[in-house]
Amino acid sequence: MTRQPSHDAVIGVGPALRKARVLRGLTLEEAARDTKLSTDQLQALEDEDFEALGGEVYARASLRTYAGYLGLRPEKVMGIYARHAEDPEPPKPPERMGRVERAIAATRIRDNQRFLLIAAAVVVFVLIVFGFLSRDHSAPLPAAIATDTPSAVPSDQAFDATLTAGSPAEVTVTVDGIAETFSMTRGEERSFLPIEELRIEVVSGGSVEVVVAGRDLGTPGVAGETWSRTFTFAEVSAWPSPSPTVDPSSSGSPSPTVSSVASPSG
């Protein structure tokens, strides 16, 4: 079991959802109408305020629905969400109840049982009546639900990127024109989900491992120098599918390398 990522750390799915909605010219109200989610829920998803959605089950279901509606691949979005989820803190043990509390609890349980029995009887009665009334009527055609994905942007647009720090580094990531500068500690991982363009700038080149659209680019750059590179959806979508890694000791073919652009630090 996992809990939702902390609202203090941006994991990338919120900005991607907002960008996809804006590209399609949709308002939160229009998206809420089509997805049957409230505008507050959609705003919480775009702000990555997952705790406001009332639990992880609701957060995951809402995130999958909204991502699919906007044309993003739900499995990509859910994968990034899952990578940043952590184990929950164990719940506190319940305090022992006194005699009065136990008596009140027993009364509530009996009342709840009576209510459930009455509700079940009512449901059975309604089903029987409805069955007699609808026996001679043909089933109506299913209603059309307006959940078709707008066609302004291809349904498979967006690519994922993951940065993993091998040593402390200062990094600037620009996702679809929105820049964010942050410090990374050794072993820290950050994921992003750009739709059109992604630019990565590492102040200390060679200290951050870069994976874009499933392709491991290693730790590009030269240690102590600034490394930067821009990736576009058009470029990434033209890449061939990643091939299995070949052991250099068993093959004389050199492994493919990725060119980088190095610029003076500062």
The residue among 109 and 163 whose pLDDT is bigger is 163
Query: Do residue 129 and residue 175 come from a single domain?
Result: no
Torsion-angle region of 193 (φ positive above 0: left; ψ -120 to 50: alpha; else: beta): beta
CATH number of residue 78's parent domain: 1.10.260.40
Q: What are phi and psi of 91, to 5 degrees?
A: -70, 150
The model's pLDDT over 216-234, given as tens digits with 9 standing for 90+, comes to 998 887 877 888 999 998 8
In a domain, 202, yes or no: yes
Rg (CA), the chain: 26
Residue 4 covered by a domain: no
Whether residues 30 and 62 fall in one domain: yes
Q: What is the pLDDT at residue 151?
A: 41
- Calpha distance 186→260 (Å, rounded): 22
Is the Cβ–Cβ distance between 135 and 127 less than 8 Å? no
The parent domain of residue 166 ranges over: 161-240
Mean pLDDT of the chain, nearest integer: 74
Instruction: Read off φ and ψ for residue 242, nearest 5 degrees.
Output: -60, 135
107 and 78: one domain? no
Q: Is the pLDDT of residue 256 over 60?
A: no
Considering the domain architecture, whether residues 126 and 74 belong to the same structural domain is answered as no
Q: Are 220 and 208 in contact (CB under 8 A)?
A: no
Confidence (pLDDT) at 213 = 86
Q: What is the pLDDT of residue 110?
A: 63
Q: Are residues 223 and 182 in the same domain?
A: yes
- The rounded distance, in Å, linking the Cα atoms of 177 and 194 is 10
Q: Which two tokens stand for residue 11?
A: 């994991």
Position 144: which residue type? A
The answer to the question of residue 77 being in a domain is: yes
In 3D space, the residue among 159, 228, 235 whose CA is nearest the CA of residue 199 turns out to be: 228
In a shared domain, residues 189 and 234: yes
Domain-located, residue 258 = no
pLDDT surpasses 90 at 83: no
Residue 40 forms part of a structural domain: yes
Whether residue 1 is contained in a domain is answered as no
For 19-77, the pLDDT digits (tens) are 899 998 999 999 999 999 999 999 999 998 888 888 888 888 999 999 999 988 888 88
Whether 247 maps to a domain, the answer reads no
Number of domains observed in the structure of the chain: 3
- Judgement on whether residues 78 and 21 belong to the same structural domain of the protein: yes
Token pair in block for residue 62:
């809402």
Cα 164–167–168 angle (5° rounding)? 100
